[in-house]
Structure 1
Amino acid sequence: MTEVRERTSKGVTAIYRHPLLVRATHWVNALCLLVLLLSGLQILNAHPAFYWGEVSHFDRPFAAIEATTAANGDLKGQLTVAGARLDTTGVLGASKSGGDQLQARAFPSWATLPGYLDLGAGRRWHFAFAWVLVINGLIYLGFALGTGRTRAMLKPTREELRGLGRSVLDHLRLRFAHGEEARDYNILQKLAYLAVIFGLLPLMLLTGLVMSPAMYARLPVLADLFGGRQSARTIHFLVASGLVSFFVVHVAMVIAAGPVNEMRSILTGWFVIRREKP
């Protein structure tokens, strides 16, 4: 198990929660996921539609982002999901990307890498940082398993699982642990991190491999696991959306729980606990 260091002074206890390697892999992961998101949207711009199964039925997408022309000639953006249509003009389908006029483009220029339409460049950015993410993730996982960090910090106890409902209500009310209760991750943090590390990230990797022509040719069984290549593509996008949602909630909780202490923890490793007054 990783040795826990702490120091106490004037009613304040500082715990060395995050070793250097954990902090480094955290920020590399953050950079990789940002580049993968922006480059992934660039790739998706080439064909912003989703299907289920092995092949694309272009006339029957499960979901699609489209640009349409209204009766008055104006360009309109539209999101279609399972037959339901939503006007997304200005954001999706039709947006102002570097000019005053609306352009037919699934995602605006500020949300893609590169900003201009370039499928080849988007793929190069995406595949390069996908490998960086995989290598970085394996380094973190090897360290976490080898030092017992996964068991010590992320494994929920039965008592914590029984208090899951109460923890959910506390978070909804923005009530966070203080004092000694804040020493360890709470049950929601543990479950979220476990879901990302052992669920979403591996699923994103596997579905991404299915979309690689070389890997698909060598291991077609991967596509079968997800019900077809197009199904894997759809799942890949949904998993990416789940990671974005996790990131948004993660940042929101950092701000709500105390951004100074939380940022100090991930930058220096030291997490501060203040004793509650009797």
Structure 2
Amino acid sequence: MRGPKAAMAGKPTKVLVKRHALVTRLTHWLNVLVISLLLMSGLQIFNAHPALYWGAKSTFAEPWLAMTKEEIGDQPRGITTVGGLKFDTTGVLGWSGPEGMREQRGFPSWATVPSWRDLATGRNWHFFFAWLFVLNGFVYLAWGLLGGHLRKDLLPNRDQLAPGHILHEISTHARLKFAKGEEARRYNVIQKFTYLAVILVLLPTMVATGLCMSPGFNAAAPWLVDVFGGRQSARSIHFISAGLIVAFVVVHLVLVVLSGLWNNMRSMITGRYAIEVEGGRS
């Protein structure tokens, strides 16, 4: 007859493993604050002219995106135009606020910093947190390169780049099946591709297009505006980049909740992540 120890020998046991270094955790939580305020102050700036164009100049009659107020049947309505499509977004975009106190503005007051109309203050907030974001990013990249974090944790290895493995990961993600045991110690290939795309492509694009809207920087490096096809194109790409970051954050939060909220939160606060190992081996 097997004793208690023998019976437990093959039973999976939860152990805590190191997953996130201190620098990763600090820069992550600082980015949570910085990106939130960048987004809200950016929407305050956008509200000064809630329309986007392509090219070097604003063709007011042909925005590819616009949030306006229109009178429809003697009733003011918020209308959002995307390309040739129009959507009634009354109460949220274009014409928002409590019933009886609505006003014409692109994004509602609860989504902007400050909540009232103040372009100068919105710019001050945006520029301050933009530079804080850049400095925080330099710290993360410098530590990631010098400490090997980018190479060891974010670069896919040869096995992960195999087409069969990539298709398997896409399939398991689509079915919301999350890694268990030893596989949970490290990022999977989908996570690595996504984080690298955000860190090395999306965020630098947002910073570069933001610089294109600075008159002082335009004077120092006019070529950068040309790279993005003109000032208005740069503004549009900046807005799209911000939207993609919001989409990334939303998906990220959903997956954090579905794959284990407390375990993920603990790993980003203490650095320790719980996994199941056979027989209690760590």
TM-score strictly above 0.5: yes
Alpha-carbon distance, 1:128 to partner? 0.2
Mapped partners of 2:245, 2:235: distance in 1: 15
* Aligned residues with identical type, % of pairs: 49
Contact 1:50 1:234 in 2 (8 A): yes
Where does 1:99-118 land on structure 2 (aligned, <5 Å)? 100-118=100-118
Q: Give TM-score, length-normalised by structure 2.
A: 0.91
**Equivalent residue number for residue 227 of structure 1:** 229
**Equivalent residue number for residue 170 of structure 1:** 172
Q: What are structure 2's unaligned runs of at least 5 residues?
A: 1-11
Where does 1:55-66 land on structure 2 (aligned, <5 Å)? 55-66=57-68
Question: Which structure's relative contact order is higher, taking Cα pairs within 8 Å and 6+ residues apart?
Answer: 2
How many pairs are equivalent? 266
**Structure of greater Rg:** 2
Deviations 1:38-92 (A, max 9, x none): 00000000001111111111111121111111122x2101111111111111110
Contact 1:75 1:104 in 2 (8 A): no
Deviations 1:153-193 (A, max 9, x none): 00012322322222122112110010111111011111111
**Equivalent residue number for residue 43 of structure 1:** 45
Mapped partners of 1:274, 1:166: distance in 2: 22
Per mean C-alpha deviation after superposition, the further-off stretch among 80-89 and 109-118 is: 80-89
Mapped partners of 2:109, 2:190: distance in 1: 35
Mapped partners of 2:124, 2:278: distance in 1: 52
Where does 1:70-149 land on structure 2 (aligned, <5 Å)? 70-72=72-74, 74-96=75-97, 100-149=100-149
**Equivalent residue number for residue 192 of structure 2:** 190
Q: What are structure 1's unaligned runs of at least 5 residues?
A: 1-9
Matched, 1:245 2:241: no
Contact 1:67 1:76 in 2 (8 A): yes
**Equivalent residue number for residue 157 of structure 2:** 157
Contact 1:160 1:187 in 2 (8 A): yes
Mapped partners of 1:157, 1:20: distance in 2: 24
Q: Give TM-score, length-normalised by structure 1.
A: 0.93
Give the letter aligned to residue 95 of structure 1: S
Where does 1:181-220 land on structure 2 (aligned, <5 Å)? 181-220=183-222
Alpha-carbon distance, 1:96 to partner? 1.0
The two structures, once aligned, show a CA RMSD in angstroms of 1.3
Mapped partners of 1:164, 1:75: distance in 2: 51
Q: Which runs of 4+ in 1 moved over 2 A?
A: 10-13, 99-102
